[in-house]
Structure 1
Amino acid sequence: MTSVLERGLKPSWSWLGVDIYRIFHLAAVFGLTCVLLKVIQLYHRRQELIKAFSRFPSHPTHWLYGHVHELLQGEMLNKTELWSQKYPYAFPLWFGSFSAFLNITHPDYAKAIFARGDPKDNVSYRHIVPWIGKGLLVLHGPKWYQHRKLLTPGFHYDILKPYVPLIADSTKVMLDKWEQLITQEKSLELFEHVSLMTLDSIMKCAFSYQSNCQTDRENSYIRAVFDLSYLVHQRLRIFPYHNDLIYWLSPHGFQFKKACQLAHRHTDKVIRERKESLKDEREREKVQKKRHLDFLDILLHAKDENGAGLSDEDLRAEVDTFMFEGHDTTASGVSWLLYCMALYPEHQQRCREEIKEILGDRETIQWDDLGKMIYSTMCIKESLRLYPPVPAVSRLLSKPITFPDGRTLPEGSLVGVHIYSLHRNPAVWQDPEVFDPMRFSPENLSKRHSHAFLPFAAGARNCIGKQFAMNELKVALALTLLRFELSPDPAKPPKEIPQVVLKSSSGIHLLLRKLP
C-alpha cells in the first residue's frame, strides 16, 4: 500500500518512455554549449579585427558600442571629418564590438582600393537586395563582368542623346509646379519635388513610360518606389533593424515586403509585355527604327559573345537597380546643386549668363548645348565635391592589400572610402570648405590627384550611369536658372545626413523668385 502511494506521489512523468527531466537537462546543456560556442566565435572575431587594424590608430571606442554612440549623436559627418584630420589616410570605425571597417579618407588609399575589383560589402548593401535583386550594384565576379559588358552600350552617347528632351520635359513640369507654389515670404522644400522629377525622367528613359508622377501621386508603382527608397534609408539608420528577424517582424518590414511585391509585379509586367511585342517582326523593326531606344530595349537586345542574353530575373534586377540608383542619387545631386547656387549668388548669376548665351532665344536645351556649359559644369563638379550624392562606398577585400605606406589588411576585411571626408580633406584640397568652381578649370585639372574627386567612385566598378547623371544635372540647372532666382532660407538651413545618399534631415528649403 505504501509503495503504491509513494509511486502515486512521485513525479515520474515521462514522454515516450524518456524522463522529462533528462530532456530539460539535455536541452539546457545544448543551449549553454551553443551560447558558449557563439561567445568563443565572437571573441575570436574581435581578436581578428583588433589584429587586422593594429597598425591603424583610431578614436577611442566604447567596449560595447564601438563608435556608434558618438556617431548617432547627430554629428556623424562632422565627426568622421574631424577624425580623418587626426588620423590621416585611414582609421577604423567600430560598429559595436564585433564589426569594424577601415574608413579611407585619402586619395592614395582610395586609388589602391579602386585599382582592384573587390565586391561590395555584405553588410549595408544586403538590405537593398530584396528590392533591386542581384544587379550590377551588388554582383561580383564573372557575372558582374558579364552584366557590365552587356549594359555598357546602354550608356553610350548615341543612346543618351535622345534622353535630353525627356529630362527637359520632366524638369519643366517641376518648374511649372514651383511657379504655382512659391510665395515671396515662404520658402519651398526642394528634395521631394526634385526626387519626383528624377523618378519621372527615369521612367521615361528606362521604360518609355509616361507616369505623370509629378502631378498624379496615386500611381501605385511610383508610390512603391518612393516608399522603398525611404524604407531602405530608414533601415540603415535604425540599428536594431539591421537584424533580419527584428526587421521582417516589424511593421516597416511588412511595409517593405508589400512595396517590393508591388514594384516587382510592375517591372515583370512591363518586361513581359515588351518581350511579347518584340515577337512580332513588324514591332521589332519599329523598335529598331524608333527615335530612341530606352533602357529596357537595350537590356532585351543585349547578347554576349556566346549569344546569351539576360534571364528574366536578371532583367528585373537591372531595371530595378537603374530605378534605385538613377533617381535617388541624382535627386540628391540636383538638390544640393541648387542649394549651392542659392548660397553663392555670384556663381548663380555667372551660370545664368552662360546658359542664356548658349541658348539665345530658345527656351529649351538640346544635347549639343551640354558640352558648351563650361562654367556651369565647373559649378556642378564643385557642388558634387562638397555634397557627393553617395557619401561613402565600401568593399569586402577578396585578397590581402598593401597600401602605399606599407600598412596591410588581410582578406575578408571591410573597407570604406569616405568620399565626403576625402573631398574635404585639407591635405588634398586647399580651403576645402570654400565653394570654388575654379578648382575644376582646365589648368587646375593636371595639378590634382587622380583620385581626389570621386563623386562616381573610380576603377572598374565606377558608376556606369555617371554621364546620364551629369546630363540630368546640367539640364535641371539650366532650366531652373532661366526661370528662377534662388536664395537660401536662413531660418531653415539644411542638416546633412549620410544615408545611402546624402540628404538633409530638415529638407532643403530655398526662396524662389520668378524671373521676368
Structure 2
Amino acid sequence: MALLLTLAICLILVKCLHALLAHLKTRDALEKVHQPRGYPLLGHGLIAKPDPEGFVNQIFGMGYLYPSAPRACVLWLGPMPITVIYSAELLEKIVCNSNHLNKGFAYKLLEPWLGQSLLISKKDRWRPKRKLLTPTFHYDILKDFVPVFNEQAKILVQKMGAACGKGKGTASTSGKVEVLELVTLCMLDIICETSMGRSVNAQMQKDSEYVWAVHTINKCVSERTRNPFTWPEPIYKLTSNGRTHSRCIQLLHSFTRQVIDERAAELERSDWKLGDGDRMAFLDLLLLMAHRGQMDPKDIQEEVDTFMFEGHDTTSNGLAWTLHFLGCNKHVQIRAQKEVDEVLQGSEEGTVEHISQLKYVECCLKEALRLCPSVPMILRELGADQPIAEDVVLPRGTHVLLNLFLVHRDPSQWPQPETFNPDRFLPENSIGRHPFAFAPFSAGSRNCIGQRFAIMEEKVVLAHILRNFTITSLQKRHEIRTDVNLIMRPQEGLFVKLEPRNKLS
C-alpha cells in the first residue's frame, strides 16, 4: 500500500513538473509580445478587474497601451495565455491559415443549445458542413426572401409610428422610442420565417414563450461567459441562471423539433416537391439534403437553431447602432434619406434591384459595424506554431483573441478612427486599404456564411425606416455603456426621437 501511495505521489509530482516546464516554455516563447508584468502561474490575476465590464475595458485598453508593431499583447488568465491581436496584417495571418480554424474554448458554452453546428464545430466536422451549406445562401435563394424583409419592415414602421402619434397602436406624442427592442423583434420574425418557414409574430405577440426563450437564453449565455466558476456543466445546472437556461433550451428545442417534424411530413406528402409560388425556407433546403442522404437528420435542428441565434441578434444590434449614429449625424442621415427617396420613388416595397442601388445606405451600415461590430471579438485556437513578427512565434495550442473592435480602429487604416464617416466605404476612398481592416463578419474561409443575407435584410429594413422617419438620437455616444460578450450590445438600450416624414408605408 505504501509503495502504491509513493508511486501515486511521484506520478503527481512528475505531472506537475511537466506542466510547470511547459508553462515556463510558453512564457519564454511569448516573452517578446507586449504584456503587463505578470507572475508565473498567477499570470495577471492580481491586476485583472473582477467585474466583467472592467475586464473587457482592460482588454481594449491594452490595445491602446501597446499601439506599436506587432499590434498584439498577452493576457495571462492564471497559467493560460490569451494573445490579443488587433491589426489587419496579423488578423490575416490567423484567419487565412487552415491550421487555425478551430474556435476557442468559450464557444463550448453554446453547445447545449447549438450542438456541433457550423458555428462551433471543430474544423474536420466544419469543412464538409460548410461546403454543403454554402449553396443555401446563394443569391438566387436569398432574393426570394426580400418580400419577407418588406412585410416585417412595414410592421416595424407601424410600431414606430405609434410612438409618433401615427399608425396603429397606442399613440404617443413624445416620439421617444427604444429602437433595439423593436428592431430585435422585427429581425426575429424575419429569421423565423426565412429559416423555418414559420411565423412567430414576435412584433405583435409579446407573450410568446418562444420569443421569451430566445431573448432569455442570450442573457443566460452572456452571464455564464462572464463567470468562469459556472463553466463546468454540473455546477452551472445548480445555479438559478442554469435552471433558466435549461428551461429555455427545452422550449427552443421542442419548438424547432415540432416545426421540423411538421415540415418534413408536409414535404413527404407532396413527394418532396414544393408547390408553385411556395417560398423555400432554409429548413426546406436542409430537409431536402437529408432526404437525398447529404445530411444527417439530427444535424438539421442544430443548424436551424444556429440560424436563429446568428440571424437575429447580430443583425438587430448592427441596425440599431446604425440608427443611433444616423440620429447623431443629421447630414449623413439626410444624404441617406435622399438616396432612399430617389431609389424607391413611388414603390411601396424594396426590390432586389433597389437593394443593389442603395450604395450609400450600405456605407452607413458598414461604418456602424466598423465602430460597433456585433461580434467584437473572436477566439481561435492555434493548430500550429504561428510567427507574427521577427523572432516572435505563438506556440501551437495558444488561444488567440481576434479583437475586431480594435482592428477597426487602427489609425494606419482608418484616419480619425472614432469619427462616424460612411464616406470611408466609397470605392474611391477604399483604395489601398488592407482587405482585412474591416471584418465584422470575421474573415477567411471560416467567415460568416450569412453575411450577404444580413446586409440585404438590413438595407431593406433601414430603407423603410429612413423613408418614413427623421431620427434624432437622445443619447450621446459617450453616454452609452456597452455590454461586450459574444455580442456587443448597449446595456440600457438605444433611445431616439422619431418624427414622421410622410405617409407611413
Deviation at 1:30, TM superposition (A): 11
2:73 matched to which residue of 1? Answer: 91
- Secondary structure, counterpart of 2:32 in structure 1: coil
Matches within 5 A, 1:41-440: 43-44=20-21, 46-61=23-38, 63=42, 65=45, 68-69=48-49, 72=52, 74=54, 75-76=57-58, 78-85=60-67, 88-95=70-77, 97-117=78-98, 118-182=100-164, 183=172, 185=174, 187-280=176-269, 282=270, 284-287=272-275, 289-302=276-289, 308-403=293-388, 405-440=390-425
Partner Cα separation in structure 2 for residue 26 and residue 509 of structure 1: 71
Change (3 A) 1:73 1:378: closer
Question: What CA deviation, in whole Å up to 9, does each residue of 1:138-175 have, x standing for no partner?
Answer: 12333211111111111011110011120221122222
Partner Cα separation in structure 2 for residue 198 and residue 489 of structure 1: 23
Partner Cα separation in structure 1 for residue 224 and residue 88 of structure 2: 30
- Secondary structure, counterpart of 1:85 in structure 2: coil
Question: What CA deviation, in whole Å up to 9, does each residue of 1:336-393 have, x standing for no partner?
Answer: 1111111111001100000000011123211110110111111111111111111011
For the 8 Å contact 2:53–2:484, the answer to whether it is kept is no
Partner Cα separation in structure 2 for residue 476 and residue 133 of structure 1: 31
Partner Cα separation in structure 1 for residue 391 and residue 96 of structure 2: 16
AA aligned opposite 1:110: L
Partner Cα separation in structure 2 for residue 66 and residue 295 of structure 1: 49
Structure 2, unmatched stretches of 5+, are 165-171
Deviation at 1:66, TM superposition (A): 5.8
- Secondary structure, counterpart of 2:466 in structure 1: helix
**TM-score (norm. length: structure 1):** 0.88
1:499 matched to which residue of 2? Answer: 485
AA aligned opposite 2:80: S
Question: What CA deviation, in whole Å up to 9, does each residue of 1:245-281 have, x standing for no partner?
Answer: 332210111111121122111112211222222222x
Partner Cα separation in structure 2 for residue 328 and residue 253 of structure 1: 21
AA aligned opposite 1:112: K
For the 8 Å contact 2:52–2:226, the answer to whether it is kept is no
Partner Cα separation in structure 2 for residue 34 and residue 230 of structure 1: 43
The Cα RMSD (Å) is 2.7
AA aligned opposite 1:106: S
- Secondary structure, counterpart of 2:452 in structure 1: helix
For the 8 Å contact 2:104–2:379, the answer to whether it is kept is no
Partner Cα separation in structure 2 for residue 100 and residue 345 of structure 1: 44
- Secondary structure, counterpart of 1:457 in structure 2: coil
Structure 1, unmatched stretches of 5+, are 1-21
Partner Cα separation in structure 2 for residue 125 and residue 229 of structure 1: 13
Deviation at 1:502, TM superposition (A): 0.9
Question: What CA deviation, in whole Å up to 9, does each residue of 1:216-245 have, x standing for no partner?
Answer: 122222221221111111111233223433
For the 8 Å contact 1:484–1:512, the answer to whether it is kept is yes
AA aligned opposite 2:263: R
AA aligned opposite 1:59: P
Deviation at 1:452, TM superposition (A): 0.6
Across the two proteins, how many residue pairs are aligned to each other?
Answer: 488
Change (3 A) 1:37 1:229: farther
Partner Cα separation in structure 1 for residue 69 and residue 46 of structure 2: 17
- Secondary structure, counterpart of 1:128 in structure 2: helix
Moved more, 359-368 or 83-92: 83-92
Partner Cα separation in structure 1 for residue 151 and residue 9 of structure 2: 64
Partner Cα separation in structure 2 for residue 483 and residue 369 of structure 1: 17
1:489 matched to which residue of 2? Answer: 474
Deviation at 1:432, TM superposition (A): 0.6
